[in-house]
Amino acid sequence: MDACSAVEKELDRVVTKFTGIRDHAIKVFDLAFSDVENIRQIFLDDPEAKLTENQVEIIKTVLNRTKSKLQGISSDHRELHGTVSKVGKVIDRNFVSDFSATTRTDFLQDKSNVELLNKIIAQHYYRQGMDDVAQELLSESELPQSISQEIFESERSYATIYKIWEAILARNLEPALDWVSQYSNELKSKNSSLEFKLHRLVFMQILSRGVEAQGEAISYARKNFSNLIDRFEKEIQNLMGTLIYLPVGIENSPYKHLTSQDMWTEASYIFLKDACNTHGINKDSPLSIVVNAGCTALPALLSIKQVMLSRKVLGVWKQRDELPIDIELDAEYRYHSIFACPILRQQTFEDNPPMKLACGHVISRNAWSQLSHGPMLKCPYCPLEQSPDEAKYIYF
């Protein structure tokens, strides 16, 4: 953030300077134009007349003045270059361009990793609706046909959701309402507000046609809100309240928020979330998740650049796929439970899984092997003496 404000400060300087030069130049040009116009007027008044000495003097003065002013402008302009190039220097000074400490290019020497990377990029393109780019990438990257097909299939349901989402934003609610009626049981079990929010939009859409649409709006409400009244009583009352303001226009009433664009944005977001959830797919593509999570992790990793480059850390990183520091990610980027060993304070991973002792306490396998002495293991918590063989692996 500091880096951004430093660059912004420099940019402000350029803009101020530029505005100053521009305002000054406009004044100079105006003056030059009016001088030239005056001279032109002399000729227009009497095309046959010869110039008097005085007039010749005026023309000379005007030409000299204009020339020197224009030179002034061009030197101002040259000076501006210095200020502009300073912005570049500030960017270089404040932003990191070398990320080698935080990257592992050896990852891309592994064929399966390259496949994975191509796969998630293709998935991202499918999600953006750029099917042709995704297919081109898949064919150029020579992924096996079975994998390409698998990606295509998995993204097809997302593509359908995406199209409906786009339709909502374009204020066409029909596809979304069709979808809702198809999955109404699933939505009800998740206590979703989507159905109500979509019907509310239709109701407001009808009312936007004015007083003459009142009857239609009321019959729409009778038909579609009756089974939603238990959960959305207050909201439905509000909707009925809008009817009183129809003659003056709902935009001029306390209910004007119901006509705002936010209602559409909110409904489209809820649709995307609920539909993805119902189909068991993530609403974000793997690529965007990785990029966003990476952006959260980068500043912390760059601040310990020297540590990251040390051999010890490289070893840990390569062997365990584990970063040397904890990175706090937002809840939306957490996909599975994690377990940290209470003895060794390490997060468990495939080669060092959590183990449940006979007494019920859970520790990591590394801790378990350090605490096991022959046939005996003393739990560091209870402290029950037991056989190490009684411990069981725990899978999350």
Region of 6-14, 108-116, 167-175, 382-390 interacting with Zn ion (CB under 5 A): 382-390
Region of 174-182, 329-337, 367-375, 379-387 interacting with Zn ion (CB under 5 A): 379-387
Q: Given the complex with Zn ion, which of 329 and 382 has the nearer CB atom?
A: 382
Region of 299-307, 331-339, 345-353, 376-384 interacting with Zn ion (CB under 5 A): 376-384
CB-CB contact of 96 with 12 (8 Å):
no
Which residue among 152, 359, 366, 372 contacts Zn ion (CB under 5 A)? 359
Site string for Zn ion, 141-160 (x = CB under 5 A): --------------------
Strand 376-378, strand 362-364: pairing? unpaired
Our measurement of the distance from residue 16's CA atom to the centroid of its chain's CA atoms, rounded to an integer in Å, reads 31
Region of 79-87, 118-126, 281-289, 357-365 interacting with Zn ion (CB under 5 A): 357-365
What's the rounded Cα separation, in Å, for the pair 311 and 78? 50
376 near Zn ion, rule: CB under 5 A: no
From the number of C-beta atoms within 10 Å of its C-beta (0-12, 13-18, 19+), residue 335 rates as exposed
343 near Zn ion, rule: CB under 5 A: no
* Backbone torsion region of residue 142, taken as left when φ is above 0, otherwise alpha when ψ lies between -120 and 50, otherwise beta: left
At CB < 8 A and 24+ separation, what contacts does 58-65 make?
Answer: 62/32, 62/35, 62/36, 62/38, 65/32, 65/35
In the chain, count H helices and then E strands: 15, 6
Question: What minimum distance in Å lies between the beta carbon of 5 and Zn ion?
Answer: 53
Which residue among 231, 305, 361, 365 contacts Zn ion (CB under 5 A)? 361
309 near Zn ion, rule: CB under 5 A: no
371 near Zn ion, rule: CB under 5 A: no
378 near Zn ion, rule: CB under 5 A: no
Write down the residue that tokens 């705002």 correspond to. 260
Region of 206-214, 314-322, 340-348, 356-364 interacting with Zn ion (CB under 5 A): 356-364
218 near Zn ion, rule: CB under 5 A: no
381 near Zn ion, rule: CB under 5 A: yes
What's the rounded Cα separation, in Å, for the pair 46 and 182? 87
What's the rounded Cα separation, in Å, for the pair 118 and 116? 6
**Which tokens sit at 341?**
């060993």
Beta bridge partners of 355: 363, 393
Question: What minimum distance in Å lies between the beta carbon of 391 and Zn ion?
Answer: 11
Residues at the contact surface with Zn ion, assessed by CB under 5 A = 359, 361, 379, 381-382
